[in-house]
Structure 1
Amino acid sequence: MPLVSSKGKSMPQSPIRKLVPFAEDAKKRGTKVFHLNIGQPDIKTPKIALDAVKNNTLEVVAYSRSEGSEEYRVKLAKYYSDHKINVDAKDIIVTTGGSEALLFTFGSIMDAEDEIIIPEPFYANYNGFSIAQSVKVVPVVSKIENNFALPPIEEFEKLITPKTKAILICNPGNPTGYLYSKEEIKQLAEIVKKHDLFLIADEVYREFAYDGTEHYSIMQEAGLEDHAIMIDSVSKRYSMCGARIGCIVTKNEDVIQTALKFAQARLSPPTYAQIACEAALDTPESYFTEVINEYVERRNVLIDELQKIEGVTVAKPKGAFYCIAELPVENADDFAQWLLEKFHLNNETIMIAPAAGFYSTEGLGKNQVRIAYVLKKEDLITSVNILKEALKQYNA
């Protein structure tokens, strides 16, 4: 029998999706499952985007340009300009989701065995993207007791080797909800300039900054033109996860030209989705005001309720819509599966994402979970009550 590749065997399972079969079995048994495991907002997609597809009169769904339609990229550049990011359409490559943007970026700037430094915990798929490109992730640990703040710059410098090509951050962070300050971005800018590295920022949650804070993009930092690569997506901003449209944004022409070759190899991003995303850029600011207010309320309810459970430690997020909670269990993977297989409260249970998959350092995060507060407040309260009772029974 032919064998699959060692690379394929090394690909990690998604900590977010690997428990899906257990959730489906629970539903078949008649148990209601509250999904706290995945960042799929229940916020409605802007009507203007849906109508652009419904009312379109295309007679042929043709390929678009490999870098994305010019109309969309020009309009996208205007959106960035409104957010104090001065780029042109030529600085943007439209991708099939932020995931493809990351894959193209890794492929464009790193060779096999090169290294990328990432503060952990981090978005679990960074592990998968690095393995797919034969790149080594070098983690720098941020800790729940410090609310997952950026580790001291000295910690980054200790990890830089001749193989280091980039530092990658997610801002605001998935899975922690941490929002990097302007001062922290400037610190990272200095280190990548000093060591001639790339600074990649996954900024797909840019709109979701709370408590009067403001998101500061790496693209706003002067002097980083050759170093900064921004990853973006419509998935969370407009609640359009299924559109699968993202982009790479950089002033570095060599990176753009190299990434374009990867884009040409996959031909083009989806046509209808670009039509929807171009229309979505006309979404009124009031949409975001309402959405952010809703997420702040959900966050406050979730954190308040979690803090009432004895033995639970939770970091308060400043952005995105996730938090990491440390539970009084030894193995969150086992607990998460047990919740779906063997537990229910009034015929209801919850699905959570074990946090070990958001680390690359072996052994870290084993008693932590990521919770996405993408459900309405009443469901979050019910979910935390289920968690509280489940912990009592599990530990008994």
Structure 2
Amino acid sequence: MPEISSKGQLMPPSPIRKLVPYAEEAKKRGTHVIHLNIGQPDIKTPKLALDAIRNHNIEVLAYSRTEGSDAYREKLASYYAKHDIEVTAEDIIVTTGGSEALAFTMGTILDEGDEIIIPEPFYANYNGFATANGVKVVPIVSSIDNNFALPPISEFEKTITSKTKAILICNPGNPTGYLYNQEEINQLVHLVKKYDLFLIADEVYREFTYDNKQHHSILSQKGIENNAIIVDSVSKRYSMCGARIGCIVSKNQRVIQTAMKFAQARLSPPTLAQIAGEAALDTPQSYFDEVIAEYVSRRNVLVTELQKIENIKIAKPSGAFYCVVELPVQNSDEFAQWLLEHYSLNGETVMVAPAAGFYATVGLGANQIRIAYVLKKEQLVRAVAILKEGLAKYLSI
């Protein structure tokens, strides 16, 4: 039999999706599965975005520009200006989701064998994109004990070598929900200037910040115009995960020009989805005010209910819509699978994301899970009750 590539064999499975077969089997048995594992909001997509698709008068669904339509990129630049990010349409490449933006960014700035520093836990697909590009992830451990705040800069400096080319952060964080403050961003700015590194920020959850805390974009910082690259997406902002529209934003024109060559190889981003994305930019602030209030309420309900479970640790998120929980188990992968295969309460069980897959350091996160609080509060209350009873039974086995 022909051999699969080493790179393919090294590609990590998704910790978010790898338990799907067990969930499907549970459903076939008649068990209702409450999905806490995936960040698919139940918030309605803005009507004006959907109407833009319904009401278009396109007769030929043609390729768009490789970098995305002029109209959409101009409108994106205006959106960023409202967030104190001064860029032009020429600083933006529209991509097929934030995933492609990350893949293009890594391909643009990293050669095989190069190193990228990432605070862990981090969005699991960063591992996948790095593996696909032959890049080594150098993790810096953050702790649940301080809600996964930025690790000391001294820890970053210890890992910097001649192979280090970039630092990647997610702000607010997935899976942690942590929001970096201005001082933490300042420290990273100083570090990348000192060592002449790229600083990549995945800012797809920019709108979702809580407790009167402010998001600080790396492209709002002075002095790192040639270092800073933003990865962005409409998926979470407008509850448009299926649109698959994202972008790369950078004032470094060599980065943009090089990323364009990767973009040309895939021809163009989806035309209809760009139409929806362009329309979504007219979404009023009232939409976000309501969504943020809803997520804060859900977060508070989730944390309150989780606190009723003994011997667990909870990282209280201040952004995005994820929460990492440390359980009194040795292996959360086994526990999560057990919940789907062997447990139900009143005909229901829960599906969570084991957190080990959000770490690059082997062994870390083995007793943690990520919960996405993208469900209505009543479902969250029920889900935590199932988790509590299920955990008690699991520990008694």
TM-score (norm 2): 0.99
Deviation at 1:31, TM superposition (A): 0.6
What residue in structure 2 maps to residue 3 of structure 1? 3
What residue in structure 2 maps to residue 56 of structure 1? 56
Q: Which amino acid aligns with 1:179?
A: L
- 2:297 counterpart of 1:272: no
What residue in structure 2 maps to residue 366 of structure 1? 366
What residue in structure 1 maps to residue 232 of structure 2? 232
Deviation at 1:146, TM superposition (A): 1.4
What residue in structure 2 maps to residue 120 of structure 1? 120
What residue in structure 1 maps to residue 379 of structure 2? 379
- 2:226 counterpart of 1:202: no
Deviation at 1:106, TM superposition (A): 0.1
Distance 1:147 1:374 in 2: 20
What residue in structure 2 maps to residue 102 of structure 1? 102
Deviation at 1:386, TM superposition (A): 0.1
What residue in structure 1 maps to residue 333 of structure 2? 333
Distance 2:3 2:83 in 1: 50
What residue in structure 2 maps to residue 193 of structure 1? 193
- For these two proteins, the number of residue pairs brought into alignment is 396
What residue in structure 1 maps to residue 389 of structure 2? 389
Distance 1:83 1:179 in 2: 16
Deviation at 1:147, TM superposition (A): 1.1
Deviation at 1:183, TM superposition (A): 1.0
What residue in structure 2 maps to residue 15 of structure 1? 15
CA deviation profile, 1:121-161 (whole Å, cap 9, x unmatched): 00000000000000000000000011101011101000100
Structure 1 residues 1-396: aligned runs within 5 Å: 1-396=1-396
- Give the 3-state SS of the residue equivalent to 2:129 in structure 1: helix
4+ residue runs over 6 A deviation: none
- Give the 3-state SS of the residue equivalent to 1:380 in structure 2: helix
Unpaired segments ≥5 residues, structure 1: none
Q: Which amino acid aligns with 2:176?
A: T
Q: Which amino acid aligns with 1:360?
A: A
- Give the 3-state SS of the residue equivalent to 1:119 in structure 2: strand
Distance 1:352 1:230 in 2: 29
- Give the 3-state SS of the residue equivalent to 2:230 in structure 1: strand
- Give the 3-state SS of the residue equivalent to 1:14 in structure 2: coil
Q: Which amino acid aligns with 1:76?
A: L
Distance 1:355 1:225 in 2: 34
Q: Which amino acid aligns with 1:164?
A: T
Distance 2:188 2:220 in 1: 13
Distance 2:325 2:113 in 1: 33
Deviation at 1:319, TM superposition (A): 0.1
Q: Which amino acid aligns with 1:128?
A: G
Deviation at 1:198, TM superposition (A): 0.2
Deviation at 1:312, TM superposition (A): 1.1
TM-score (norm 1): 1.00
Distance 2:307 2:132 in 1: 39
Distance 2:83 2:310 in 1: 42
Deviation at 1:308, TM superposition (A): 1.2
Deviation at 1:246, TM superposition (A): 0.3
CA deviation profile, 1:66-109 (whole Å, cap 9, x unmatched): 00001000000000001111000000000000000000000000
- Give the 3-state SS of the residue equivalent to 2:60 in structure 1: coil
Q: Which amino acid aligns with 1:236?
A: K
